Amino acid sequence: MTSLTRTPSGKLRARGIGLTFAGTPGPNNTITDVPGVTVGYETLIEGDSVRTGVTAILPRPKQDLATSVFAGCHSLNGNGELTGSHWIEEAGCCDGPITITNTHALGTCRDASIQWLVTHLGVSGWALPVAGETYDGTLNDINGFHIKPHHVFAAIDQARDGPIDEGSVGGGTGMICYGFKGGSGTASRALTLANTAVTLGVFVQANFGLTSQLTIAGIPVGQHLAKAHEDPERGSIIAVVATDAPLLPHQLKRLTRRVGLGMGRSGAISGHGSGDLFLAFSTANKTAHQNGDQLSNMQFIPDALLDPLFEAVIQAVDEAILNAMVANEPMTGFKGARVEALPIKQVLNLMARS
């Protein structure tokens, strides 16, 4: 098996259990297929109550993190937080590490990202790094405030390219998706636009949905897996879309609006209490962000050619969510709470009978 079917730690991915998806994945089917993009995790599993962590996504190599990338963001349902989003809406760019964690560690991650920039890159002005969150308080003692700055530094320092782990790692450690163990998931698509080969990658922290809503390849498997009574949905998702396609901020915002369509493929409705927040960035046009008094030049793909990228977002989001669930295992945590992993054999049997 290859990185398309297994994670570096050996867990099966969605393709590894025989699920098929439209589109052509990148070499590892991860957000790190986008050149220059790296991902790092710091995972905290301690005692009976600590089930949390930090994910760091670096849009550029560490030495270039202070150089902005064009960006866009979108809130499908706003019960959550994505720091720096007001500036992204205003200026169409962001810089620094992108971190994802639990709801009550958001500020720690944001502040620690600034500390890292000051310490390692000598940033002396101001910084508004992006930090996102979802709630892990069922499995994790979220009010224990276990995430400290050194955990954030570790996630950033450990960022790597190539295959990356999925499931209960990093910020996704304590997350639940469609009633089963969720967390960190990723996927990518390789395509050609304007006679240029480009890559689009997606990373999700999946923490949403009711079991009865779960749909795989158009088959409503969750209706056969759900308990007689389900509590109202209280979950969320953070999605980060990366591409080396030369896109302008308004085009990147258009990509983020397609994330919800990818969620819908797996059955999500983006409920009232959900925090479904999305970010997209492009690693292209690096020199466009240099300060100076001269006109800047940049490339961009015409709007009329964006449809394949829209489709790639939808495909990759759907697959990333399922990867987060498949590459997982049961977890017991805070106050004895237990969340089972997706019952893969039962799911495959249901799909075979449909």
Under 8 Å between Cβ of 51 and 207: no
Find the length of the chain.
Answer: 354
Q: Which of 68, 236, 266, 282 is catalytic?
A: 236
pLDDT tens digits for range 182-213: 999 999 999 999 899 999 999 999 999 999 99
Q: Is residue 232 pLDDT above 90, yes or no?
A: no
Q: Which domains are assigned to the chain?
A: 22-284+298-346 (3.60.70.12)
Q: Which amino acid is at 203?
A: F
So what's the pLDDT on residue 53? 99
| Averaged pLDDT, 115-130 | 95
Helix (H, G, I), strand (E, B) or coil at 35: coil
DSSP run (H or E) holding 308? helix 307-326
pLDDT band of 291, cuts 50, 70, 90: confident
- Distance between CA 252 and CA 338 in Å, rounded? 38
Q: Which tokens hold the place of 19?
A: 């699920």
Look at residues 64, 300, 344 and name the one whose alpha carbon lies nearest to residue 196: 300
Q: Is residue 229 pLDDT above 80, yes or no?
A: no
Active site residue 236: yes
| Averaged pLDDT, 221-243 | 88
Q: Is residue 231 pLDDT above 80, yes or no?
A: no
Is 335 or 294 the better-scoring residue by pLDDT?
335
Q: Which of 95, 274, 282, 318 is catalytic?
A: 274
Q: Which of 136, 276, 282, 318 is catalytic?
A: 276
Under 8 Å between Cβ of 208 and 272: no
- Distance between CA 325 and CA 313 in Å, rounded? 19
Active site residue 282: no
| Averaged pLDDT, 136-155 | 99
Work out the burial of residue 107: count CB atoms within 10 Å of its CB; fewer than 13 is exposed, 13-18 middle, 19 or more buried.
Answer: middle
